[in-house]
């Protein structure tokens, strides 16, 4: 299927998690959720610390909390990371003091959305930002393919 231009946040995320050059975001072992290594993500994609030239403009923020807020607005749910699940999908990392490679740079976050799948870029169009207008539609009982914010408070 044709992949839309990377203008939406979910599309950017999908391209990042599938990029061989991005190491801070990766699929979980089932390809149905994503792991984000916060410390590495801040360095690699938000321009906190040393960064590759030209990468700073991918997201218009340097605050990881803003990225989490975007994930929530697009209906992503934060899951609890167990050390076993993070190790199963972990990438090889350079040796770090302490030798623990499952958390190379910082906290590891696990997010899930029913329309965010490894082999289904066509589902990305179903991920809608939870705007005021969308909330009004939901309140009126109309179809919007996002979740209500209450669902995010688990």
Average pLDDT over all residues of the chain: 75
- The residue written with tokens 């209450």 in the block is 150
Asked whether the predicted pLDDT for residue 13 surpasses 70, the reply is yes
pTM over 0.75: no
pLDDT band at 137 (very low <50, low <70, confident <90, very high): confident
Q: Hey, where are the domains in the chain? A: 9-83+101-140
Continuous H helices in the chain: 9-17, 38-45, 64-73, 83-88, 132-139
pLDDT score, position 36: 96
Q: Are strands 77-79 and 108-112 parallel, antiparallel or unpaired?
A: antiparallel
**Which CATH fold topology does 9-83+101-140 show?**
Arc Repressor Mutant, subunit A (1.10.10)
């Amino acid at each position: 299927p044709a992949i839309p231009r990377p203008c939406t946040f979910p599309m950017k995320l999908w391209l990042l998690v599938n990029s061989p050059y991005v190491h801070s975001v990766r699929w979980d072992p089932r390809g149905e959720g994503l792991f984000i290594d916060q410390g590495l993500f801040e360095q690699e994609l938000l321009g906190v610390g040393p960064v590759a030239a030209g990468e700073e403009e991918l997201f218009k923020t340097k605050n990881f909390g803003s990225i989490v807020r975007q994930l929530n607005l697009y209906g992503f749910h934060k899951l609890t990371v167990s050390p076993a699940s993070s190790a199963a999908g972990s990438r090889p990392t350079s040796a770090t003091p302490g030798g623990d490679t499952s958390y190379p740079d910082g906290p590891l976050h696990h997010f899930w959305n029913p329309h965010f799948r490894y082999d289904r870029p066509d589902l990305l169009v179903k991920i809608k930002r939870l705007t005021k207008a969308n909330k009004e539609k939901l309140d009126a009982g109309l179809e919007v393919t996002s979740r209500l914010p209450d669902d995010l408070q688990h």
